[in-house]
């Protein structure tokens, strides 16, 4: 029998995430960033006082909401089934849901350990148009630099003139070298040259931008395979990370994007951006169900600190608005 736990009214926005040293209330940003999806899942969900008829109503309502939040048909069905089975021993829907959701994401929590990468390491950033590739690169470069890494960027998006400039001006502001050629140059050759330069200049991490492409444009997808091939001539392990950027707001489309990019070029990590702009952040559960690919980062805004390492427990607890330190009730 389910009942909603008493809602903790304390404002936790002043809590600092101690994994970061900036002193900013980062947990509050995450909380705010996930608020639309949280609202879609739980906002106004009827409280259940105990009789089984009520818990059925709650489950039905929750099922619909999971679907609306793009958790996907299969994952939704499994979650609801599991909740239904557990309802004898669990007094609290949120706690049961929390455990089930966390189980689903835990295996995908594998932060990118930059200290364990060889030098120079290549991080190749791919994804469809406008998902946040270039801004994510800026955020990552900033973060790696703050950890004492020597970072270089490769302007592999040779398709749009503005793309090269976007990266160059960003690099200038942050004193990070950017290797670029003219618009229309071969993307693979820009990234290859950048890798050679990174080696010569004892760079730790080279992050390569690429043009946004639709996952059904086979010639452009083939270009990614070519990038991988030419990098392999310098180091057979390169790229050391192929990071696929997905926009949380694209819902189930993120599934087909992942499938096609993974087919074209082994994707080794996901960064899911723009949680702050969507109520469909449940797509993370659909992705986790379908692919055995670590979720490296989630994006909850446009500022550098809004790109966060993905931690399953923190994500779920913030999504469901339960205290991160809550005991395993």
Ligand X SMILES: Nc1nc2c(ncn2[C@@H]2O[C@H](COP(=O)(O)OP(=O)(O)OP(=O)(O)O)[C@@H](O)[C@H]2O)c(=O)[nH]1
Which residues are at the interface with ligand X (CB under 6 A)?
127, 129-135, 157, 163, 212, 273-274, 276-277, 299-302, 306
Does residue 136 interact with Mg ion by CB under 5 A? no
DSSP string covering 199-250: HHTT-SEEEE------TT-HHHHHHHHHHHHHHHHH-TT-SSEEEEEEEGGG
Does residue 139 interact with Mg ion by CB under 5 A? no
Select the binding partner of residue 277 from Mg ion, ligand X, none (C-beta < 5 to 8 A, by kind). ligand X
Burial of 164 (0-12, 13-18, 19+ CB in 10 A): buried
> At 15, which helix (H) or strand (E)?
none
Select the binding partner of residue 171 from ligand X, Mg ion, none (C-beta < 5 to 8 A, by kind). none
Q: Which of 36, 38, 133, 228 binds Mg ion (CB under 5 A)?
A: 133
Select the binding partner of residue 301 from Mg ion, ligand X, none (C-beta < 5 to 8 A, by kind). ligand X
| 2, two tokens | 């389910």
Identify each DSSP E strand in the chain by its residue range: 121-126, 151-154, 178-179, 205-208, 241-247, 269-273, 295-299, 307-309
Q: Are 317 and 324 in contact (CB under 8 A)?
A: yes
Residue 201: CB atoms within 10 A of its CB come to 13
Q: Which stretch binds Mg ion (CB under 5 A): 121-129, 131-139, 283-291, 307-315?
A: 131-139
Least CB distance to ligand X at residue 253 (A): 15
Nearer to ligand X, 96 or 221 (CB): 221
Q: Could you say which DSSP state residue 119 is in?
A: S
Q: Helices 52-68 and 35-42 meet at what angle, rounded to 10?
A: 140
Least CB distance to ligand X at residue 298 (A): 8
Does residue 213 interact with Mg ion by CB under 5 A? no
Nearer to ligand X, 166 or 268 (CB): 166
Does residue 215 interact with Mg ion by CB under 5 A? no
Nearer to ligand X, 100 or 122 (CB): 122
Select the binding partner of residue 242 from Mg ion, ligand X, none (C-beta < 5 to 8 A, by kind). none
Considering only CA atoms, which of 114, 149, 115 is closest in space to residue 243?
114
Nearer to ligand X, 95 or 135 (CB): 135
**Where on the chain is the footprint of Mg ion (CB under 5 A)?**
133-134
């Amino acid at each position: 029998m389910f009942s909603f736990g008493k809602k903790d009214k304390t404002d936790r926005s002043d809590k600092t995430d101690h994994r970061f040293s900036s002193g900013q209330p980062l947990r509050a940003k995450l909380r705010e960033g996930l608020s639309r999806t949280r609202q879609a899942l739980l906002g106004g969900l009827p409280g259940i006082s105990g009789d089984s008829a009520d818990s059925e109503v709650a489950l039905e309502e929750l099922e619909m909401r999971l679907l609306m939040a793009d958790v996907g048909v299969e994952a939704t069905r499994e979650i609801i089934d599991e909740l239904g089975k557990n309802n004898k021993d669990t007094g609290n829907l949120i706690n049961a849901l929390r455990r089930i959701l966390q189980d689903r994401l835990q295996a995908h929590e594998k932060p990118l350990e930059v200290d364990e990468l060889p030098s120079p390491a290549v991080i190749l950033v791919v994804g469809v148009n406008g998902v946040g590739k270039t801004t994510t690169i800026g955020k990552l470069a900033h973060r790696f630099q703050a950890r004492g890494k020597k970072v270089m960027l490769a302007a592999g998006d040779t398709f749009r003139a503005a793309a090269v400039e976007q990266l160059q001006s960003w690099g200038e502001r942050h004193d990070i070298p950017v290797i670029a050629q003219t618009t229309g140059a071969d993307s693979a050759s820009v990234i290859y040259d950048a890798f050679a330069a990174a080696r010569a200049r004892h760079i730790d991490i080279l992050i390569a931008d690429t043009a946004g492409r639709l996952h059904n444009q086979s010639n452009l997808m083939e270009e990614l395979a070519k990038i991988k091939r030419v990098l392999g001539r310098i180091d057979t392990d390169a790229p050391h990370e192929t990071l696929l950027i997905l926009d949380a707001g694209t819902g189930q489309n993120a599934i087909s994007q992942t499938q096609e990019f993974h087919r074209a070029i082994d994707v080794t990590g996901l960064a899911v951006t723009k949680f702050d702009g969507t109520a469909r952040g449940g797509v993370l559960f659909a992705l986790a169900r379908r692919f055995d690919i670590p979720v490296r980062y989630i994006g909850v805004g446009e500022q550098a600190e809004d790109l966060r390492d993905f931690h399953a427990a923190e994500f779920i607890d913030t999504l469901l608005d339960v205290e991160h330190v809550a005991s395993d009730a």
